[in-house]
Amino acid sequence: MFNIFRWTSKSLTRTMATAAQTVSKPYPFSKTAIILPEPYVSPPLPLVQGKGLMPYLQKNLTTPEKQTMLRELFGRHSAKRIYPGSIVGVTLEHAPFAFTGVVLAIRRRGIDTSMVLRNVIQRTGVEMQLFVNSPHVKTIKVVQKPPKGRMKRAKLFYLRHSPEKMSALAGSKKGTIA
Amino acid sequence: MLRLWTLKQKPHHNLILKCLHSSSNVGASPAASTSFVSSNAPSPPTKWTPDSIRTGLIARKRGMTALWNDQGARLPVTVLQLENCQVTANIVTTRQDKSEYHAVQVAASDKPLKRTTRQMQGHFRKAKVNPKRIVKEFPITSDAHVPIGTTFSAIHFVPGQYVDVIAKSIGKGFQGGMKRWNFKGLRASHGVSVSHRSAGATGAHQDPGRIWPGKKMAARMGGQRITTQNLAVVRVDTSLNLIYLRGAVPGVDDAQVMIRDAKKLAAVGRHNQAKGLYEKVLPKGVDDLPFPAGTLEMAKTLPSIIEAPAYRVSPFVPRE
């Protein structure tokens, strides 16, 4: 298993380096199909046989930037991980271009990892479920960590019905922050 | 004008099919009403036509994940992997009404020799392939035969086309009417005793005085052959022999599935060809299909990882 991931990081860095130099082969069956960069080396035999294929795909079907984001912010043992109850600001490529909110829930599913952010904007509660791997999510920044390091729950859906607890979490930081 | 869809493709029920499978080369003298295809003779390169039916492939369902397309929309995808999928026979039979049935026999997933029966060992030896776990047949038109021993590749499917997937569904065991047939059950309270999920009555009264055959009842559910139609091919990866389909596929992970070109959309394409709407014969973005099949040799000359763009207006652009 360790070997597969070692191969992965090597091949990806080489792919990024050589993508500009290699000319992609023509694909006669579709003019509008997207041709992605070729892998530098042929994959190891266990992957071709299907052993460890899905964990490999979960790690590698994304760009290295997103892989870093997933590993550092959503890894279970990362030092910089996001805790439920923290206040997080994200910048997006579609409206609303920036959104800040309390993290209510983190759903860890490899590349399908998502989190739910809640905020009250102009007296209306607004929640957003953001998929970390989406190309529309540009940056994720932790604005404030939860009180006393962590909350006593993994999912904070009870905050939907208690605005006083929400404002206690927010503390001095009220309203949206760009 | 000859309507091609009325060709005698289906056998009549009361006629006996003469099934003489011709997997061998030239040398066997042609029998009375059968013809065989000399499968390993080099044939001129044929091109896909809207009236051709290509062979399908056998793959393994590896699992599901998510992909984000070029517009940033999330697509749930099923990952299918080809495991040494090869042709083991080309079948041509003549029915009693003189119509021809053509098929390609495909086998996948290598199996240890000692666990293969003598009969199947002989069959695979004749085709000069490793013994396989699963052997299935795909009906085709006469121009779509593939030489015996050809190894298929994921390049056989073009990103942007639609496929049908056939697999055995997940077994649910013995299930009651509510789960199996969506029965409503009975009330939760108001006097209902001990039968909240039961089917209730099963028939009328003295007339007919019996239960109609085919009455929906509790029994074993699942574990049956299911066809899921019109799944879009999102991405194709020939380095790992992966096909990414948008949507769900029946069965458990690592189960064998059969993939073939979508029948109903191909029929629509044939009708459009007959009407002269040549732009609507293949799905948007697909210009041609590998014919008669996408092989390992073809995959070496083509790019490894190909993805289909979203052939629609971006859902993230606000509309007036």
Q: Per-residue DSSP letters for A109-148?
A: -GGG-EEEEEEEETTEEEEEEEETT-TTEEEEEEEEPPTT
Three-state DSSP at B162 gives strand
Burial class (CB in 10 A: 0-12, 13-18, 19+), B238: buried
**What is the DSSP secondary-structure string of B179-235?**
HHH------SSTT--S-TT-----S-BTTB-SPPTT----EEE--SEEEEEEEEEEE
CATH, residue A120: 2.30.30.790
Number of domains in chain B: 1
pLDDT digits (tens, 9 = 90+) for B56-98: 999 999 999 999 999 999 999 999 999 999 999 999 999 999 9
Nearest residue of A to residue B315 by CA position?
A94
What are the chain A neighbours of B253 within 8 Å (beta carbons)?
54
CATH, residue B244: 2.40.30.10
pLDDT of residue B44: 62
Name the helix (H) or strand (E) containing A60. helix A53-60
Nearest residue of A to residue B48 by CA position?
A29
Domain range holding A128? 60-170
Q: Which residues of chain B from 36 to 65 reach within 8 Å of chain A, CB to CB?
A: 60, 62-63, 65
Count CA atoms within 13 Å of residue A60 on its CB side.
Answer: 20
pLDDT of residue B17: 43
pLDDT of residue B22: 46
CB pairs under 8 A between A and B: 106
Name the helix (H) or strand (E) containing B177. helix B177-181
Residues pairing with A90 in the sheet: A99, A140
CB nearest B83 (choices: A50, A93, A112): A50
Largest Cα–Cα separation, chain A: 62
pLDDT of residue A4: 43
pLDDT of residue A22: 54
> Is residue A94 a part of any domain in this protein?
yes
SS3 content of chain B, % helix, strand, coil (to 5): 15, 30, 55
Whether residue A146 is preceded by a cis peptide bond, meaning omega within 30 degrees of 0, is: no
> Is residue B308 a part of any domain in this protein?
no
> Is residue A38 a part of any domain in this protein?
no
Mean per-residue pLDDT pooled into runs of 10, chain A (178 residues): 44 45 80 92 92 93 94 94 96 92 95 96 95 96 93 95 90 46
Contact A61, A54 (CB under 8 A): no
pLDDT of residue B320: 84
What are the chain A neighbours of B279 within 8 Å (beta carbons)?
none
pTM confidence score? 0.85
| CA dihedral sign, ordered A140, A142, A146, A150 | positive
Q: Which residues of chain A from 98 to 157 reach within 8 Å of chain B, CB to CB?
A: 110-112, 131, 133-136
Count CA atoms within 13 Å of residue B311 on its CB side.
Answer: 16
Number of domains in chain A: 1
The number of angstroms, rounded, from the C-alpha of A31 to the middle of its chain's C-alpha atoms is: 32
Instruction: Compute, in degrees rounded to 10, the torsion defined by CA atoms B39, B41, B45, B51.
Output: -30
pLDDT-based confidence at B38, cuts 50/70/90? very low
For A12-16, B152-156, B186-190, which range has the lowest pLDDT when averaged over its residues? A12-16
When pLDDT is averaged across residues B144-166 and rounded to a whole number, the result is: 97
What are the chain B neighbours of A113 within 8 Å (beta carbons)?
none
Q: What number of residues does chain B have?
A: 320
Mutate to test the interface with A, among B58, B64, B67, B75 (most CBs of A within 10 A): B67
Report which of B288, B48, B82 is spatially closest to residue A29, judged by C-alpha positions.
B288
* pLDDT higher than threshold 90 for residue B30: no
pLDDT of residue A44: 93
* pLDDT higher than threshold 60 for residue B23: no
Domain range holding B63? 57-170+220-299
Mutate to test the interface with A, among B133, B156, B239, B281 (most CBs of A within 10 A): B239
Q: How far apart are CA A160 and CA A157, in angstroms?
A: 6
The answer to whether the Cβ–Cβ distance between A39 and B68 falls below 8 Å is no
Name the helix (H) or strand (E) containing B295. none
Contact B54, B289 (CB under 8 A): yes
> Is residue A155 a part of any domain in this protein?
yes
pLDDT digits (tens, 9 = 90+) for B249-298: 999 999 999 999 999 999 999 999 999 999 999 999 999 999 999 999 99
> Is residue A99 a part of any domain in this protein?
yes
Task: Please indicate whether residue A127 or residue B44 has the higher confidence score (pLDDT).
Answer: A127
Task: Please indicate whether residue A21 or residue B136 has the higher confidence score (pLDDT).
Answer: B136
> Is residue B251 a part of any domain in this protein?
yes
pLDDT of residue B117: 97
Residues pairing with B107 in the sheet: B86, B135
Q: A80 at the B interface (CB within 8 A)? A: no
Contact B108, B256 (CB under 8 A): yes
The answer to whether the Cβ–Cβ distance between A131 and B285 falls below 8 Å is no
Q: In what order do the strands lie in the sheet with B86-94?
A: B86-94, B100-110, B132-140
pLDDT of residue A13: 42
DSSP B161: B
> Is residue A16 a part of any domain in this protein?
no
Shortest Cα distance, chain B CAs vs residue A32, angstroms: 6
Q: What is the ipTM of this complex?
A: 0.83
Q: Name the residue with tokens 């002989």.
A: B122
Residues pairing with B152 in the sheet: B295
**Mean of the per-residue pLDDT values of chain B:** 89
> Is residue B2 a part of any domain in this protein?
no
Q: Which residues of chain B from 278 to 297 reach within 8 Å of chain A, CB to CB?
A: 285-290
* pLDDT higher than threshold 70 for residue B10: no
The answer to whether the Cβ–Cβ distance between A53 and B240 falls below 8 Å is yes
DSSP B301: H
> Is residue B314 a part of any domain in this protein?
no
